Amino acid sequence: MEAALPVWFEVTSYVVLLAILAFDLIIAYRRPHVPSTKESALWVSFYVGLALVFALLMLWQGSVDHAAEFIAGWVTEYSLSIDNLFVFVIIMARFSVPRKYQQEVLMVGILIALALRGLFILAGAALIENFSFIFYLFGIFLIYTAVQQARQKHDDMEEEENRIIKFLRRRIPISDVYNGGKLRANIDGKRVFTPILVVFVALGITDLVFALDSIPAIFGITTDPFIVFTANIFALMGLRQLYFLLGDLIDKLEYLHYGIAFILGFIGVKLFLHALHENELPFINGGQHVEWAPEISTWTSLAVILASMTIAVVASLVKIRVDTRREGASIEK
């Protein structure tokens, strides 16, 4: 069993990371604007570089395994966060959020995601500590989610959003116009909520759904709560800037969801094999460990995750290029 990271390192990491998030939040609210491609690219590069520096610090204060687990967990959560971003794009378009105020809205969505993931991490760690069979449930759930992801099932989530939003509109006075990035407005002498409230609710539902996927996924990489939580923080850092950097491109990455589905399915299988290896259920192999069940290493997981995302993104970009050429040829004819 690998040695634990120093307590001072963990505490300092939490303080610094939360300070960075607070600074990002202040910037979003103090300077509401549409960031340029250059600005967005610099911020995304900064946060990616920060994650790699943090991995080196973990290597320094911990071990190679700590660093590898963090990188694998961060890449996994970053991949799932990009899928989350795709739904954010749909929500922004559906509710016609003014582009100038999308930074603020996105930051709130990211903070909601962080809070939900934090709660799920605590719950997941407690379940794993007390019930080893939870790995079976996590594994089955991720394999099921992978199948749903491959079939691009966002319709069910949108229907759930619509039901909740209709419920809100029936019981809470909500205007049809925005008041900048404010939650409340005065209309005809009455204090009413702006559509921002509806957007926040939609983002919260989306975050809840993706937290249900992402937390079991990273527990398939590591069961260390510190690594799980920091990987999630780094995955959510820069997500706001990535939204503006990718822009309409995120909607055109046609094969991205297949790559994410493969990652979820792979980790689901890994969890199930781990559960078999650690088996204590009496109706499986008489409650004994299943010796033939292989343990998939962190390095293998990292290689599969990186390869899956690379292939999915490259294939999507190639398709975009081919489609553009076809459209150009059609116009010329």
The SS3 of residue 222 is coil
Q: What pLDDT band is residue 180 in, cutting at 50, 70 and 90?
A: low
pLDDT band at 332, cuts 50/70/90? Answer: low
What's the number of CA atoms in the CB half-sphere (13 Å) around residue 276? 16
Q: What pTM was computed for the model? A: 0.79
With beta carbons less than 8 A apart as the criterion, state whether 308 and 259 touch.
yes
The single residue listed with the structure tokens 């996927």 is 213
Judged by average pLDDT, the poorest of 88-97, 142-151, 175-184, 316-325 is: 175-184
Reply yes or no on whether the pLDDT at 153 is more than 70: no
| Burial zone of 285 (CB within 10 Å; 0-12 exposed, 13-18 middle, 19+ buried) | middle
Distance between CA atoms of residues 166 and 141, nearest Å? 30
Residue 161 has pLDDT above 60, yes or no: no
Is the pLDDT at 57 greater than 90? The verdict is yes
> First and final CA of the chain: distance in angstroms?
67
The residue behind tokens 């795709």 is: 86
Closest CA to 61 of 4, 104, 134, 110: 4
Enumerate the β-bridge partners of residue 184: 193
Under 8 Å between Cβ of 253 and 313: yes
DSSP 176: S
DSSP annotation of 193:
E
> Among 136, 284, 148, which residue's Cα sits nearest to residue 219?
136
- Tokens linked to 34: 């549409």
Say how far apart CA 290 and CA 293 lie, in whole Å.
6
Give 287: exposed, middle or buried? Use CB within 10 Å, 0-12, 13-18, 19+.
Answer: exposed
Measured between alpha carbons, how far is 66 from 58 in angstroms, rounded to an integer?
Answer: 6
∠ CA 268-266-310, nearest 5°, is 140
Residue 65: both structure tokens together: 């395994």
Which 8-state DSSP code applies to residue 281?
-
The residues that bridge with 190 in the sheet, in sequence order, are 187
Percent of the chain with pLDDT over 90: 12
Domain boundaries, the chain: 7-332
Q: Tell me, what's the pLDDT at 311? A: 92
Predicted confidence at residue 97, as pLDDT, reads 81
Q: DSSP 3-state assignment of 315?
A: helix
CA distances from 267 to 149, 249, 262, 263, 308 (A): 14, 27, 9, 6, 12
Q: Assign 293 a pLDDT band (cuts: 50, 70, 90).
A: low
